Structure 1
Amino acid sequence: MNKTDRQLAIMLELQRNKLLRAEDLAARFETSVRTIYRDIQALSEMGIPIMGAPGHGYSLMEGYFLPPIGFSAEEAVTLLMGADFIEQRLDGDYGQVAKAVRRKIEAILPEPVREESRRVRATMRLLHASEPITGLKEKEYLGQARRAIMERRTIRMAYRKKLAESDGNRKSTREVDPYGLALVQGHWMLIGRCGLRQDIRHFRLSRISELAVLEERFVMPQDFNLGGYRPPDDRNERVLVRALSDMVDKIAEQADFYMESVEERVDGAWVRFRVRTPDELLHHILSWGGDVEVLEPESLRRRVREEVEKMLKRY
């Protein structure tokens, strides 16, 4: 980054933050503190009202705003495609905002940049062939959950689990303190503390059939950070499958989360999986047909036979 670009970037950082130390800016732009001092002095000499002193921190004078920033074609495409993504994936409120943002960005672009950004965008599309599209009902629940998170309100929902409990029931009513939302492999997941389980749980929005935001409020744990949060890995059961070697790529595409290792042998590829319960792989294994064989555990071999027998009866 050259000096001019760095000084402009420093002004933008100061506009976004109330107070920044020279050390923070030096780390951000990978330069020395002395260079930051010189940049601050140069900006001040240009008439930028920067307040502060070395060792304490710098800030822009309250009420000062930078003039509008121009965008290159690549920067405009980045923003416009981001707006496309927001419109497709988030709830209606943000969908309308995304449309408005797109119009504003296009309106302020110089004609050459606007035309170039159109040409670039025409060569790229956001497709969801291998991922589910966020449905209207899911977007509605997404909006309710998002507002509940911002207002720190508990939600009550009717939820359908992927796998049935020991009594065969898959449906339950939960009260959850919502902490955050994450888009995982095309599915919106609600992360929060479940009152029933008394622990943090993850709920797929597409499996919610009813959702209500309650008046009851909750306190967000001080040590919870969505950006740094990683769910515990509870995949403690192993599955061993023998497959034709040319099936490995397809298996990896469809069940990468579960795959642990692949070993090429004379009789084919031996693929090891780690799962919460073997039934999680059942529909994948059935879709792979006769090109794979479950070797372990025996319980999953029986489940596959049972499903195949049901299919034979129908055909």
Structure 2
Amino acid sequence: MNKTDRLLAIVLELQRSGTLRAEDLAATFETSQRTIYRDIQALSEAGVPIVGSTGIGYSLMEGYFLPPLSFTIEEAVALLIGTDFVETKFDSRYRATANTSQAKIEAILPDKVLDEVRRIRGITKVADPNEIGISRMEKEFLVQLRQAILQMTKVEFRYAKKSRFGEDVEPTRRRVAPYGLILINGYWVLIAACELRDAIRHFRLSRISDLHETGEIYEVPAEFNLKDYSPVDDRHLLIRVHTNLRLAEQIKESNNFYLEDIQVEERGLIVTFRVRQIEDILHWVLSWGSDVVVLEPDQLRQRVREELENMLKRY
């Protein structure tokens, strides 16, 4: 990043974050603190009202904002594709906001840039192979949950899930402190502290019903950060199967969440999965028919035999 770009980026970072120390800025822009000191001086001499406090950091004078910025073609395309995504994946309120945002962005683009942006958007499409559609009820839940998260109020709902053997079980009543919402493989998922399980749990919105706020206030733990959050990986069961070499590309392209490793041998492929339970991989194995042979564990081999026997009884 050259000096001019870095100076602009520093102002944007201060405008976004409020107060930052020299060492924070140095880490962000991968430069030395001495360079940051020189940059701050250059900005001050250029008329940018930066306030520095010893031991606290730098901030912009209250009320100061950068004038409207011009966008490059690439920046405009990124923003407009982002509005397309919001329009299809969020609730009605944000769909409307996406439309108005798109209109505002297009309104400030020079004609030459706008023509090129429209041409690129016309030949570009973001497609989700796992697209399943979001129901009207889920979109309503998005509104309720987003409001509860912003107000930090607990919610209650009924939650339906599958048993270890893939069967429906009786929904349970949950009371949770909602921490955030994540879109995973086309599904909206609520991350929340569940009172029933006394731990952070994930709840797919498509399995939620009878949702309402309780009015009870909660506090998010200081150590929790949704951006950095990742669930504990509890996939401890190793599965190994043998298959034909001709299926290599198909298996890779299947993008199976549990796929761990593929080894090519003379007799074929040895594919390793890491799962939580046998049922996580059972249907995948059965879908390949005789092209896939389970090597281990014996528990999975037995479950495959049982399923095949049950199928034979039906025919």
- For normalisation by structure 2, the TM-score amounts to 0.89
CA–CA distance in structure 1, aligned partners of residues 243 and 142 of structure 2: 39
Report if aligned partners of 1:152, 1:219 keep a CA contact under 8 Å in 2: yes
CA–CA distance in structure 2, aligned partners of residues 207 and 282 of structure 1: 22
Q: Counterparts in 2 of 1:117-128, with a 5 A limit?
A: 117-128=117-128
Report if aligned partners of 1:175, 1:196 keep a CA contact under 8 Å in 2: yes
Report if aligned partners of 2:130, 2:185 keep a CA contact under 8 Å in 1: no
1:51 matched to 2:60? The reply is no
Report if aligned partners of 1:22, 1:55 keep a CA contact under 8 Å in 2: no
Q: 1:166, CA displacement in angstroms?
A: 11
Q: 1:106, CA displacement in angstroms?
A: 0.8
* Equivalent position of 2:172 in the other structure: 172
Per-residue CA deviation, residues 198-233 of structure 1 (Å, 9 max, x unaligned), is 111111122223322222222222222222222122
* Equivalent position of 2:254 in the other structure: 254
CA–CA distance in structure 2, aligned partners of residues 234 and 11 of structure 1: 43
* Equivalent position of 2:210 in the other structure: 210
CA–CA distance in structure 1, aligned partners of residues 166 and 291 of structure 2: 32
Deviates more, 1:272-281 or 1:157-166: 157-166
Instruction: Note closer, same or farther for the CA distance 1:169–1:4 as it changes in structure 2 (3 Å cut).
Output: closer
CA–CA distance in structure 2, aligned partners of residues 302 and 257 of structure 1: 23
Letter in 2 for 1:241: V
Letter in 2 for 1:304: V
- Any idea what SS the aligned residue of 2:102 has? helix
Report if aligned partners of 1:237, 1:276 keep a CA contact under 8 Å in 2: yes
Unaligned runs of 5+ residues in structure 2 are none
Report if aligned partners of 2:261, 2:272 keep a CA contact under 8 Å in 1: yes
* Equivalent position of 1:24 in the other structure: 24
C-alpha RMSD of matched pairs (Å): 2.6
Q: 1:75, CA displacement in angstroms?
A: 0.6
Instruction: Note closer, same or farther for the CA distance 1:238–1:121 as it changes in structure 2 (3 Å cut).
Output: same
CA–CA distance in structure 1, aligned partners of residues 106 and 231 of structure 2: 40
- Any idea what SS the aligned residue of 1:58 has? strand
Report if aligned partners of 1:176, 1:192 keep a CA contact under 8 Å in 2: yes
CA–CA distance in structure 2, aligned partners of residues 208 and 288 of structure 1: 32
Q: Counterparts in 2 of 1:106-255, with a 5 A limit?
A: 106-164=106-164, 169-254=169-254
- Any idea what SS the aligned residue of 2:176 has? strand
CA–CA distance in structure 1, aligned partners of residues 69 and 133 of structure 2: 34
Per-residue CA deviation, residues 58-106 of structure 1 (Å, 9 max, x unaligned), is 3222222221111111111111111111222222222221111111111
* Equivalent position of 1:295 in the other structure: 295
Per-residue CA deviation, residues 36-76 of structure 1 (Å, 9 max, x unaligned), is 33333332233222223677533222222221111111111
* Equivalent position of 2:88 in the other structure: 88
Unaligned runs of 5+ residues in structure 1 are none
- For normalisation by structure 1, the TM-score amounts to 0.89
CA–CA distance in structure 1, aligned partners of residues 97 and 166 of structure 2: 45
CA–CA distance in structure 2, aligned partners of residues 167 and 112 of structure 1: 57
Instruction: Note closer, same or farther for the CA distance 1:219–1:59 as it changes in structure 2 (3 Å cut).
Output: closer
Report if aligned partners of 1:154, 1:177 keep a CA contact under 8 Å in 2: yes
- Any idea what SS the aligned residue of 2:293 has? strand
* Equivalent position of 2:305 in the other structure: 305
CA–CA distance in structure 2, aligned partners of residues 167 and 229 of structure 1: 30
Q: Counterparts in 2 of 1:33-48, with a 5 A limit?
A: 33-48=33-48
* Identity across matched positions, percent: 52
- Any idea what SS the aligned residue of 2:133 has? coil
The total of aligned residue pairs comes to 315
Report if aligned partners of 2:10, 2:25 keep a CA contact under 8 Å in 1: yes
Deviates more, 1:75-84 or 1:44-53: 44-53
Report if aligned partners of 1:182, 1:188 keep a CA contact under 8 Å in 2: yes
